[in-house]
Structure 1
Amino acid sequence: MPYRINYLQEAKELLERGDAVQASEKLYKVAEEAVKAMASALGLPEAKEANERGRWTLRLLEGAAARLAETIDKRIYDDWDHACFLHVEDFHEARLGVERVRRRLRYVEELLSIARRVLGEKQRS
């Protein structure tokens, strides 16, 4: 994918250093970029609207994640939801701590894996 995949590695390093807040934001960015990339590659209406507006909004990301879950893999929405939880509850509110963020890491990794599969298939077609 053309965006910063190293956000995931950065998040893991931040967790090792005990910085749950910044790790949460990196994990959210991985999820956000995965949803954007899949939506754009598949030409979803949310991606078209984001392109017209010149930016993505949370409403568009949420809609894209829901649509991707309906059409590609139902896990996408749940994985997205975990990333949003990290964004709000830890990055904005600093309520979770390292262990609770670490428990949600697998959902972001799963979403990234699905995105890589989808984008790989899209490039082959």
Structure 2
Amino acid sequence: MRPSNDDLQKLLKEIKEELSTSDPIQASEKLYKVAEECVKTLAIKYNVKIKVRKDQYVDASLIESWSSYMLFQAVEKLSNILGKDLEEGWNTAWELHLRGFHENELTTDEILDRIVDVQKLLAFCGLI
């Protein structure tokens, strides 16, 4: 079951609180998770077909477990429909996921600098 917009708004509030209390690792991952859910929601809304196996595509609405490969496919197709701001937002969210969460390389200020790009993506879902 997809999280509701209210759930995602709550998560955005938690992100801001974590950044203000200097927990950039959790804030990075939560920001990525909001972006990920936004991509899934948009892929379903725009009836994007996702390649799941060689020469096999399915509607996004039928996918229960998304791989990063599937997410990047959805972003590419959605960017062709909605514009490059979506792709830029996703790429920044992915950077937060890798460098902010997994590698713990980003400072709070570096995360704050990147939020604007992710907000471009979230705007497509009506989250900001």
Query: What range describes the TM-score normalised by the shorter chain of this pair?
Result: 0.7 to 0.9
C-alpha contact 1:90 1:96 (8 A) present in aligned 2: yes
Partner of 1:71: 81
Q: Which residue, 4, 13, 26 being the options, matches 1:22? A: 26
> Which residue matches 2:105?
95
Task: Flag the structure with higher helix content.
Answer: 1
TM-score by length of 1: 0.85
Partner residue of 2:62? 51
Unaligned runs of 5+ in 2: 51-57
| Aligned mates of 1:33, 1:70 — CA distance in 2 | 19
Structure 1 residue 109: deviation in Å? 1.7
**Number of residue pairs matched?**
116
Q: What RMSD in Å do the two structures reach over aligned CA positions?
A: 1.8
- Could you tell me how far apart the structure 2 residues matched to 1:103 and 1:49 are? 31
Partner of 1:39: 43
Quote the offset at 1:10 in angstroms: 0.9
Structure 1 residue runs of 4+, over 6 Å off? Answer: none
Q: Where does the alignment leave 5 or more consecutive residues of structure 1 unmatched?
A: 118-125
Aligned twin of 1:84 = 94
Give aligned-pair identity as a percent.
Answer: 33
TM-score of the two chains, using structure 2 as the length reference: 0.83
Give the counterpart of 1:2 among 1, 4, 21.
4
Equivalence map 1:101-112=2 (5 Å): 101-112=111-122
Q: CA deviation at 1:73?
A: 1.8
Q: What is the match of residue 123 of structure 1?
A: none
